[in-house]
Amino acid sequence: MSRSFLKKICVLSGGGFSLLVLLVACHPSLPAAAPPTIQPTNTLPILRSELTPISVETATPMLPAGYVDAAYVLDGVCYDALHIMVGTPIVLRSQADLDQYFNNLNSLGVCEGVMLAPTFDFSGQILVGQIQMGQGCDANLYPSPPTTDTQVRTVTIWVQFAVTPDCDYEVMGIFLMAIAPPPDDYQVVVTIQP
């Protein structure tokens, strides 16, 4: 088709939309530009990242001598069960005690599925603790070294419960530590104070 014939078709078609379509169709085509080519290289770029090590000692409060953090034993326990156990002392002297503690948690019926007690090495240590709630941004627990009273036959652990204020969140602090076992006839008392 000649260019003059196409122009005549464009003029004769009349009507707004068809004219627009024909004008687009009548426009002479532009030569297509060649797509850019990427030249392959024999080497790949090396991405480097500088990592800044984080000191665990600065991120976590230091524990007094004689304490080993064992809060991981309660990993996987649902929030609702832990919430019910707030303020209840935890003293576990054997794997059988730990198994029974988890049976008690399961009997609450507030968690989905059955929670299995983890295995814990009770040779030379027992688990003691308590769960505490507060309102704020974050909760931290700062235990004092255990004090032993041979006359009353008790081991007392004082724990400072500190909540970072200025937030409207319900926060939970889990204090669960492994300590050297006192004699069997000694009572272990965990006292959490605000």
- Tens-digit pLDDT profile for residues 10-23: 444 444 444 444 44
Structure tokens at 121: 């090495």
The reported pLDDT for the residue numbered 55 is: 36
Identify whether the C-beta of residue 10 lies closer than 8 Å to the C-beta of residue 26: yes
The reported pLDDT for the residue numbered 145 is: 84
**Domain layout of the chain by residue ranges:** 62-193
**Distances 5 to 1, 9, 29, 43, 152 between C-alpha atoms, Å:** 7, 6, 16, 57, 115
The reported pLDDT for the residue numbered 66 is: 65
Task: Give the residue ranges of the chain where pLDDT is below 70.
Answer: 1-66
Whole-model pTM: value is 0.63
